Amino acid sequence: MNSILKGAVRLALGVGVLAIGVGMMNGLISMKEEMPVSDKPTAPRAVRNAVIEVGSIHPETPVEGRVEAMYKMDLISEVTGTLLMGSREFREGMAFAAGEVILAMDDTEARLALIAQRSQFLQLLSGQLADLQMDFDGSSEVWTGYVKSIDVDETLPPLPEAASDRERLFLSNRGIVSNYHSIRSAEEKCSKFQVRAPFDGIVVLANVQPGALVRAGQMAGKFVGEGNYEVKTAVHARYLSTIQRRDSVQFYDEEGKTVATGTVHRIAGNVDSSTQSASVFCRIKPVRGAVNALRDGRFLTGTIESAPLENSFQLPLAWMHDESHVFEVVEGRLKEREIEVLFRSRSHAIARGLESGVVVLSESLTNAFEGMIVRTKTNENEG
């Protein structure tokens, strides 16, 4: 047998052996019993939920600002004089009622000069009585009575009305009218040596002391009214749709205690382009027991309670996702629901779109999805 024939026989034997091996392996594989395949059941996720209650809800806008006295004034002297030592000294912290003298300066020189002016006017008018009786017989008694009524230590009474143009020109030519108004001007200036309180208030700044010379135009101090205050606060534009004039407002101190109540009095007509907020002014008064709690410049926080939104419900912002969606819990599964947000504060939202009794997911789950199997948590520590 030659070498070529031997090679062919070996190849045929090898192929045959390989075919027999493959066949035996397939037979053994087919005899192996297949293991059943089944999906692993998903354990329900323990979550918190809450029941929606639809009703009438008042939006509460958070605000903050500084208390400002509605009435305040700078005390600037219009005359020059020495500040007198009175029964109540002009010092910081002193309170004065409306009409009381706050500042009293020595007016002796001006008052004596005014008395001299009145005396000269009386002399001038007395010298003209004879001509008045001769030329204006019907007015002689009126002017005689006026002369008798003049007291050089008191304010001049008003001049009698001239009965005719001729009488009016006579009084003007004799200098009676001009002298009268000069004295009235001096009387007005002399009255400025005393500064009276135009309203109940307290001195918050005193730049002069009793005995010191106060010059005309000098700022003597500041006087701030008590009992009437307002708070200027900046409100974001998103809240302006619900805030109206006369909405009620409450302000609290650092401990959360209510110290003042009031109403929204004014709302700015423009929005600041840089902050997207508008100024809202609230008129406030101290509550009973907190009369001394309000001071000009004090910082307070509070809330504006607006008109109620009917057929609405309130929920924390953490329960929402995508701005206006929540998950409803239906038969142990999550169902996504879209709601209409009417008002949004820093922590809560007021919305419509759900009915009373609807159960919603009351916590934030980053991996929540529609159809997710859930169960109600029975323990706060349960995962």
Same domain, 77 and 221: yes
Question: In this structure, is residue 172 part of a structural domain?
Answer: yes
Same domain, 266 and 159: no
Neighbours of 372 (CB within 10 A): 19
Which residues 6+ apart lie within 8 Å of 113 measured at CB?
186
Q: What is the mean pLDDT of residues 211-237?
A: 90
Q: What is the pLDDT of residues 318-331, one digit of tens each?
A: 999 888 999 999 98
Same domain, 163 and 140: yes
244: domain CATH number is 2.40.30.170
Q: What is the pLDDT of residues 271-308, one digit of tens each?
A: 999 999 999 999 998 888 776 778 888 999 999 999 99
* Helices (runs of H) and strands (runs of E) counted in the chain: 6, 24
* pLDDT higher than threshold 60 for residue 201: yes
Identity of residue 100 = E
What are residue 341's DSSP bridge partners?
351
CA dist 134 and 5 (Å) reads 179
Give the range among 41-50, 233-242, 274-283 with minimum mean pLDDT.
41-50
Question: In this structure, is residue 340 part of a structural domain?
Answer: yes
Same domain, 252 and 279: yes
Question: In this structure, is residue 27 part of a structural domain?
Answer: no
CA dist 332 and 311 (Å) reads 27
Same domain, 121 and 177: yes
Domain end residue (candidates: 289, 305, 321): 305
Which residues 6+ apart lie within 8 Å of 3 measured at CB?
none
Give the range among 27-41, 232-246, 285-299 with minimum mean pLDDT.
27-41
Please choose, from the candidates 63, 82, 74, the residue with its C-alpha nearest in 3D space to the C-alpha of residue 281: 63
Q: What is the mean pLDDT of residues 108-131?
A: 91
Q: What is the mean pLDDT of residues 151-158?
A: 91
In angstroms, the Cα distances linking 308 to 24, 66, 126, 164, 340 are 85, 27, 76, 69, 16
Our measurement of the distance from residue 31's CA atom to the centroid of its chain's CA atoms, rounded to an integer in Å, reads: 86
Instruction: Report the length, in residues, of the chain.
Output: 383
CA dist 69 and 156 (Å) reads 38
CA dist 61 and 237 (Å) reads 11
Please choose, from the candidates 257, 281, 252, 314, the residue with its C-alpha nearest in 3D space to the C-alpha of residue 70: 281
Q: What is the mean pLDDT of residues 253-264?
A: 90
- The predicted pLDDT at position 379 comes to 45
Same domain, 75 and 134: no
334: domain CATH number is 2.40.420.20
Give the range among 81-90, 199-208, 332-341 with minimum mean pLDDT.
81-90
Question: In this structure, is residue 17 part of a structural domain?
Answer: no
Q: What is the mean pLDDT of residues 225-229?
A: 87
- The predicted pLDDT at position 383 comes to 37
What are residue 313's DSSP bridge partners?
351
- The predicted pLDDT at position 253 comes to 86
* pLDDT higher than threshold 50 for residue 338: yes
* Dihedral sign of CA atoms 141, 143, 148, 149 in order: positive
> pLDDT band at residue 381, thresholds of 50, 70 and 90?
very low
Q: Hey, what's the torsion of the CAs at 65, 67, 70, 73, to 10 degrees?
A: -120
CA dist 31 and 22 (Å) reads 14
Q: What is the pLDDT of residues 134-148, one digit of tens each?
A: 887 777 788 888 889
24, containing H or E segment: helix 3-31
Q: What is the mean pLDDT of residues 154-182?
A: 89
- The predicted pLDDT at position 41 comes to 63
> pLDDT band at residue 264, thresholds of 50, 70 and 90?
very high
Question: In this structure, is residue 4 part of a structural domain?
Answer: no
Cβ(71)–Cβ(199) below 8 Å = yes
220: domain CATH number is 2.40.50.100
Give the count of domains, the chain: 4
Question: In this structure, is residue 37 part of a structural domain?
Answer: no
pTM: 0.65
Same domain, 288 and 326: no
Encoded tokens for 37: 């395949």
Residue 79, phi then psi, degrees to nearest 5: -135, 170
Q: What is the mean pLDDT of the chain?
A: 86
Residue 332, phi then psi, degrees to nearest 5: 80, 10
Same domain, 120 and 139: yes
Domain that holds residue 153: 109-191
Question: In this structure, is residue 39 part of a structural domain?
Answer: no
Domain end residue (candidates: 244, 275, 305): 305
What are residue 303's DSSP bridge partners?
62, 250
Same domain, 351 and 368: yes
Domain end residue (candidates: 305, 339, 356): 305
In angstroms, the Cα distances linking 358 to 128, 133, 321, 362 are 99, 101, 17, 12
HSE-up (13 A, CA, CB side) for residue 266? 8
For 191, the 3-state DSSP assignment is helix
Question: In this structure, is residue 166 part of a structural domain?
Answer: yes
Same domain, 209 and 81: yes
Using DSSP bridges, classify how beta strands 201-206 and 95-96 pair: parallel, antiparallel or unpaired. Answer: antiparallel
Using DSSP bridges, classify how beta strands 299-305 and 60-69 pair: parallel, antiparallel or unpaired. Answer: antiparallel
Residue 115, phi then psi, degrees to nearest 5: -60, -40
Identity of residue 362 = S
Q: What is the pLDDT of residues 310-321, one digit of tens each?
A: 999 999 999 998
For 209, the 3-state DSSP assignment is coil
- The predicted pLDDT at position 187 comes to 92
Neighbours of 151 (CB within 10 A): 11
Cβ(235)–Cβ(249) below 8 Å = no
Same domain, 152 and 83: no
For 135, the 3-state DSSP assignment is helix
| Helix, strand, coil % in the chain, rounded to nearest 5 | 25, 35, 40
Q: What is the mean pLDDT of residues 126-133?
A: 84
- The predicted pLDDT at position 129 comes to 84
- The predicted pLDDT at position 308 comes to 92
Please choose, from the candidates 219, 223, 193, 195, the residue with its C-alpha nearest in 3D space to the C-alpha of residue 208: 219
Same domain, 92 and 162: no
- The predicted pLDDT at position 183 comes to 93
